[in-house]
Structures are given as C-alpha cells and as structure tokens.
Structure 1
Amino acid sequence: MEIPEFFNAQLLSELEALSGTPCYVYDEATIRRQTDIMKKFPAPFGLFPRYAMKACPTRAILALVTGEGIGIDASSGFEIDRALRAGVDPTAISLSTQELPSDFDQWIKKGVKMNACSLSQLRRYGEKFPNTSIGIRFNPGLGSGGTAKTNVGGPSSSFGIWHEKKEEVRAIAAEFSLKIERIHTHIGSGSDPAVWQRTANLSLALVREFETVESLNLGGGYKVARMADEVSTDLLKIGEPVAAALTEFAEETGRKIRLEIEPGTFVVANAGYLVSRVQDVVDTGTGGHQFLKLDSGMTELLRPSLYAAQHPISIIPRGRTVEDMEDYVIVGHCCESGDLVTPAPDDGEKLAFRNLPKTQIGDWCVIGGAGAYCSAMSTKNYNSFPETSEVLRSENGDLNLIRRRQTLDQLLANEI
C-alpha cells in the first residue's frame, strides 16, 4: 500500500490541532470497502461474517463494522463486555477464548455463542448448560501464520481441541446432551492461502463426522499486503473452492452447511495510519547510521519489534518542498534499542534503513498498515507514555476524535 495523498500538510495541521501527535487515523471508506468484500465471500447456503475485534476494538470501529451487518468474534470475556457496551447485539457475538472466565454463563444467557476451545471448557459448558447447543474449536493438525508467533495451528499450538480427540468430544457432549452445532478452526494470522485451503478441507471432514453440525467457521487470518512487495489474499478467489466443496458435500449428504468467517486484519489493517512527529535527527558518524527519532514507537506500534513487521512510511515536510533523499533508520521514543520502527525483514534485531526525503525536526512521519494489532497491541504506558488518541476520517473527509489522549491522572488512577 501507499500512504494516501490526503495526508498532506493541511490535514496534518488540522490533526495536530484536534488531537496532537502521535495519533492513529482510521479511514471510514476503506473499512466499508473491506466489509463489503467480506460479505461477498462465496457461500452457497448462507454466510455470517464476523469481525475479529482483537485487531482493533475501539468503540467507534466496532459500531462502524457491526453497522454493516458484521458480527463479532471475541477472544475474551472483557472483549464481550466491551462489545456489549458499544451496543453490539449479544446474539451477534461469538466467544473463542484461551481463558474461560468462571462467570461465562452471564453472556451465554444473553445469547452470546461459544466455541469450546478445550475439553475442560466443553465440560464446564455442559455442567452449566446441559441440553443446549455448542460450537467446537478444533486444532486441525496444521497451521500457518505470517510468523511463527502468529501461527495458531498444528502440534506446537495450544489453540483448540486436537483433532484426534474427537471421541472425547463426543463423550462429553453425550454426557450433557449437548448438540454440536458448529465446527470452528483458525490456523493463524497472515496465513498462506494454500495452507488455509487445506485446512478448509480438513474442517469440512470434521463436519462430516458430527452429523448435528449446521455451520462451519473457518476463522480469519487472511494475508494483507502492507508493503508493495507483499501480496494480499483474494478473499473471493479462495472462497470459490470452499463454496464448491460445500455444494458437493450437500449433494452427498443432504446437509446444507452455513459458513462463517472471522477476519480482523483484512478489515482494518490498511485502513489505519499512525501519525507521528520527528522529534530528533542524529547520526553515528562515518560508517554509522542516520536516525530519525519519533514522538511515537513501540508504545503505539509494536509489530516491527515483535515480528520484524514491515510498514510503509512517508515523511511529509513541514512548510517546505524537499527533493533530496537520504537513508534513515527510524526509531521510537522508548528507552531501549528494541524500539525499532524499521527492522530488517525477518530479523527484528537488525537495523534497516528507508530512503526518504531529507528530514528535519518537526516533520511529520505517517506509518501505514497500522489499523490492526497496533492500538490494540501496543505497549502503552511503557516509560509512562500515555495511551494515544485516535481519529476517524469520515467518508466526506472530516476528522472525528474517537479516543482522547490519556492523561497522567488517568494513568495513575488505580495506584494505591
């Protein structure tokens, strides 16, 4: 992706007056476009798309996405409560979680759907809700992610019930007269489309073995191109063989299986930008590097440090035209060398430079691909930096503040 032309000096000046820097900016038009594509995923017997809210759970984003008829995939009880406070219909929420709270029954009674992600979760559900329906998240035996840290399938992953434990699932379901109505699989974020397709086939094989199943949830994790040399998953293209398999399955069995998908990154990644200010320019002499120090960093953008993730970066000069280009390493404001915005691809501990317009202190730095797992996964409050503000750019170009910057009093509020 490229940084849009609307990030010009005029807009950035308006943004500074509205919220200061650093701040996140989300583009409403992009989010609506992505949800429209989601809703067109091929599904011959019905589709219910959900948004993986862990990608970006800000209230205004939840309202925007669910207003498009998209449900919610929650990964914790706190996410459920957050979605409910945002006005989301509880019957549109599905819970798949590593940690099932002791009071989970409060949400089930409101209509929230649940996928049991372990045998103990299935038993706990059965004890509280016998003679009801439940979904099962299986680990299908393989996984794929943009990095090993985002691969959540296969024998090295704890997510879901191992696929060979089907008989134990049946036994617990029978003990509590549970109807298994949904099979759920999810193999990772940024997954390889070919591996995802294999997983879809394995998931349908699980559906075949549980005759009461009415819907198949294939999770999300669709690869999104943030950089020019990356390739996005074509959602409609990868959906075609899934639709064909569901049609063939219906012809063989008479069972018309409804499909569910749960993208997060696909919806918001390239709709979000981190706007920061260059607050210092330093160098380490001959044979060294030129560094741009931002008023942001891992407190807002952890992905480069955590995954060696690459993000598009643009410098917008303040009050001047620049033609000369320079190589810069870009770093954050936290007091550790790991706060690196431009790591080498596939090695987060190595420096890499970007060729950018000759930069001065005070220039703006706009980082793209920051809509997913940035605000939601930041190291806010490290070095006591406050949680930053968030802005939604409407379809008519207006800037609307959707999260205020945290104050020091708010940061200290729970200390005793």
Structure 2
Amino acid sequence: MNQRDMRPPFAALGGTIPPELEKLPTPCYLLDEDALTRNAEILGGLAQRTGCKVLLAQKAFSNYDCYPLLAPHLAGTEASGLFEARLGAEEMPGKEVHVFCAAYRADEMDELVQYADHIVFNSPAQLAKFGPAAKAAGKSVGLRINPECSTQDGHAIYDPCAPGSRLGTTRAQWNAAVAANPALPNLLDGLHFHTLCEQDSDALATTLDAVAQKFGDLLPRMQWLNFGGGHHITRPGYDIAMLERCITRAQQDWGVTVYLEPGEACALNAGFLLSRVLDVVQNGDTTIAILDASAACHMPDVIEMPYRPPLFAAAEPGEKPCTVRLAGPTCLAGDVIGDYGVDAVPNVGDLLVFGDMA
C-alpha cells in the first residue's frame, strides 16, 4: 500500500501500512502497544493532576496480556460481573476491583466478594438483599443512580437515562425505598452514575449539574462518587480542562474521592483488524467486496450500535471515484460492514485495514 492516511486511527503508523502486514494471516487483530501506553499515560496524568482514580472498564478492553502496559497508570479495573471481577483481580493484582451489575445472582455473591473491593448495586432491592453481606465482608458498597439527564443523540436505545431505563435508581425510586426501609442509607459508601457514551466533558458537566440537583443532599455523606464511563478522554480535541473542573467540583463540594471508568478511551485508536478480499460481486449499481472478516463475528458493534469502522485510505461514499460495500462471508444477510468511497474497486486478495479495533 503506497497510500497515506493521517486520520487518528492510522496516524500512529505514520499514515502508512507497513509492508510486513501483508505476510500476516487474515482475519487478525493487531494491537499497537505504544498507542495503548500513550492512552494510559494520558489517563494517569489526569489522576496525578486531580487526585481522581481511573479504572479500566473491562467490558471495552479485556486483553489481559496488555494489562502490564496499563496497570502503572490506573487505580484498577471495573467489572460487569463475577468473571470480569476475577479477571481484574488476577491480571491486575494489587489494584482495586470495582463491579457493577444490573442484577446479581445469589449463588455468585460468595465468590464475588473474594475478588471485588467495591460493589455497586443497581436498585434499592438489590442493595437491601446483598448490601449487608457485602458490608460484613468489608466491601465498599455503592448504588448506581439515574440523574434523568439525557445527553446522547443518535442511539437512544443505549441511553441509560432514557424513559423506562432499567439502569440506575431515580430519586423518586430512592425516596420510596427509604420510606419503606429507613436503614438503606446506612449501607451506602458511594454513588455511581454512567450516562455517557463516547462523549466530551461538556456532557459530563451537564450531567453533574443534574446529579447535584437530584442527589446533592446525599453526597456529603458519601466517601466516593463514580463518574462512570463514556468519557472520550484520549480522543484528539477532548476538553480535559473541563473534565478536571468537574472532578475538582465534586471533590470540593462533597468531599468525595472521584472515580472514572473509561473503557474505549483506554484502547482508542490502538488496534487494527486486517482482512482480505475473497470475492467482488456486482448487484445492480452496488459493488460488493466480500471479505474474510465478518461484521457479526469480528466487529459486532457495527451491527449493534450501529456504526461504520474507519478503513485505511477510504472516505465517505461518493467522495472518491468508486463506492464499494464491504461485507462478511457469512450467510447472515445483514453481515454488512458499510459503504466506503475508494480510489479503485479492490481486487481479490487485497489487504484491507480497519482502524480503532483494539
């Protein structure tokens, strides 16, 4: 490949694809350890300047072979359940392990408390059911709150603050629960909110205002406040100064330790998916390149979000001489990666490189 592409996913390679990649079997993932380290250094610098604690959200990146690159800069890991908690405890030893799950299984709690330091519950009912045992085991106990403040556009089904959301406890729900069980507040050491997705810190500032309005009276009694994930901290142009102001505000107003649990920010633009063209077909006006990589199997977010991953040296449809649809080899009709503008229709055997695939 003689083309150059200096967009962020490919800039770490100097805007070129090294010829030695042609020798690799496909499909395959390629991780950039230098990029992972740079991301971790940005997060670690934030923690040093502000006194906050940054956790790796393992649901976004759980390649534990790379944890030694991240661990020196992070306070620990965030888990979505028992097995991620075990992963964090075993592969980032000596660090904090936080866990949140929308509903815990009773038959897993005894093992979970062996790994987790902080356990966050989603509802007052789960807090009442499992909180006393967690406290007795010496764990820090939290509740996920729903500040009812939506800041997301374009994918409402993933908005934790959407009407009818199952994630987090609203203030009305909390008030009703405390009226029925006045001892509930005594179980809490901290509060947790997670309302963002690949967003800048202005959305966090808006959310923090809502948290202050809805739950500000509870926070002075808390030891910590977890800002959750969705902070695109390592993205070029992200407003870190505003993030630092949000952290300082929480520390000064409520006297809490602030946690953040970025996921994608830890691995942003730090990996590639290599694929080869198996066939090229023409259906009416649509040119389709069938690859040995599948959206459904190798990049499921393409279908679930949906989104279109960056492709080396490609542009928007219509912005280059040719437009080609890239699709997977499976029998799933929707196994389509997306339409791309390219200089020429790829040939069978050509190597294609997708960015931001860590």
Is the 8 Å Cα contact of residues 139 and 161 (structure 1) preserved in structure 2? yes
RMSD: 3.0
> Which residue does 1:59 correspond to in 2?
64
> Which residue does 1:300 correspond to in 2?
298
1:13-412 correspondence to structure 2 within 5 Å: 13-14=22-23, 16=24, 20-41=25-46, 46-89=51-94, 92-102=96-106, 103-129=108-134, 133-145=140-152, 147-168=155-176, 170=178, 175=183, 178-191=186-199, 193-205=201-213, 206-223=215-232, 234-246=238-250, 248-249=252-253, 255-285=254-284, 288-298=285-295, 299-314=297-312, 326-342=322-338, 352-371=339-358
The letter for the 1-side match of 2:250 is L
The Cα shift of 1:181 comes to 1.6
Structure number having the greater helix percentage: 2
> TM-score if structure 2 supplies the norm length?
0.83
Deviations 1:236-259 (A, max 9, x none): 13313314523651xxxxx52211
Distance 2:304 2:69 in 1: 29
Aligned length: 338
In structure 2, the residue corresponding to 1:3 is in which secondary structure? helix
1:12 aligns with 2:21: yes
Deviations 1:127-180 (A, max 9, x none): 424566411110111234462233222433211112223335546885378442
Gaps of 5+ in 2: 1-7, 315-319
Task: Mark the CA change 1:169 to 1:43 in structure 2 (over 3 Å): closer, same or farther.
Answer: farther
Distance 2:64 2:47 in 1: 29
The letter for the 1-side match of 2:267 is V
Gaps of 5+ in 1: 226-230, 250-254, 317-323, 343-351, 372-416
Is the 8 Å Cα contact of residues 53 and 62 (structure 1) preserved in structure 2? no
Give aligned-pair identity as a percent: 21
Distance 1:176 1:303 in 2: 38
The Cα shift of 1:309 comes to 0.7
The Cα shift of 1:184 comes to 0.6
Bigger RCO (CA 8 Å, 6+ sep): 1
Q: Which range moves more in the overlay, 330-339 or 43-52?
A: 43-52
Task: Mark the CA change 1:207 to 1:182 in structure 2 (over 3 Å): closer, same or farther.
Answer: farther
The Cα shift of 1:210 comes to 4.1
Distance 1:76 1:2 in 2: 30
Is the 8 Å Cα contact of residues 193 and 233 (structure 1) preserved in structure 2? no
The Cα shift of 1:83 comes to 2.4
Deviations 1:48-81 (A, max 9, x none): 1001110121221334322433411111112112
Deviations 1:316-336 (A, max 9, x none): 9xxxxxxx9532111111212
Distance 1:241 1:369 in 2: 29
Distance 1:76 1:368 in 2: 29
Is the 8 Å Cα contact of residues 156 and 162 (structure 2) preserved in structure 1? no
Distance 2:41 2:91 in 1: 21
> TM-score if structure 1 supplies the norm length?
0.72
